[in-house]
């Protein structure tokens, strides 16, 4: 199972949005983990994928300042979120503020993660990717 595609979603006054049905249908659970991502987006993980990522994070040496910062960034800002019977999920206000979300989000499937973007932040990121994708891809040596 993986998350693919891009979807626009409205946010209501309580910070809820409908998780696209394409993403919900294969989940098999009504809970996910939501945390900060890179580039001012949010990352939404299945519980099992989050648990795997969290184990890797917690295995890092906390004596290093960089590790403590990474733990605060991902674990300290994240939380488990429920998907209600209607398929809605509430984004905590701190994460709405962090991502600059106003009334709509763009949900982007990235394999094992769903990125949640404010439309305003997503557009310039994609424009930069469009301009540089050939260079990015060549640098990967796939």
Domain 6-140, second-level architecture = 3-Layer(aba) Sandwich (3.40)
CA distance 90 to 92: 6
Q: In what order do the strands lie in the sheet with 79-82?
A: 6-10, 104-109, 113-118, 42-46, 31-36, 79-82
Q: What is the DSSP letter of 39?
A: G
pTM: 0.92
- pLDDT tens digits, 74-97: 999 999 999 999 999 999 999 999
* 69 DSSP 8-state letter: H
- Burial (CB < 10 A; 0-12, 13-18, 19+), residue 140, is exposed
Read off the pLDDT of residues 23-79 as tens digits, 9 standing for 90 and up: 887 787 889 999 999 999 999 999 999 999 999 999 999 999 999 999 999 999 999
Q: Give the pLDDT score at 1.
A: 65
């Amino acid at each position: 199972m993986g998350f693919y595609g891009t979807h626009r979603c409205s946010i209501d006054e309580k910070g809820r949005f409908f998780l696209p049905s394409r993403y919900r249908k294969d989940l098999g659970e009504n809970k996910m983990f939501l945390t900060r991502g890179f580039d001012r987006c949010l990352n939404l993980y299945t519980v099992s994928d989050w648990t795997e990522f969290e184990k890797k994070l917690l295995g890092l040496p906390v004596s290093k300042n960089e590790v403590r910062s990474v733990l605060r960034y991902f674990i300290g800002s994240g939380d488990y979120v429920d998907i209600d019977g209607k398929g809605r999920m509430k984004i905590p206000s701190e994460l709405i503020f962090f991502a600059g979300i106003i009334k709509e989000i763009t949900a982007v499937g990235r394999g094992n993660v769903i990125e949640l973007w404010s439309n305003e932040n997503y557009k310039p990121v994609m424009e930069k990717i469009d301009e540089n994708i050939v260079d990015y891809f060549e640098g990967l040596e796939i």
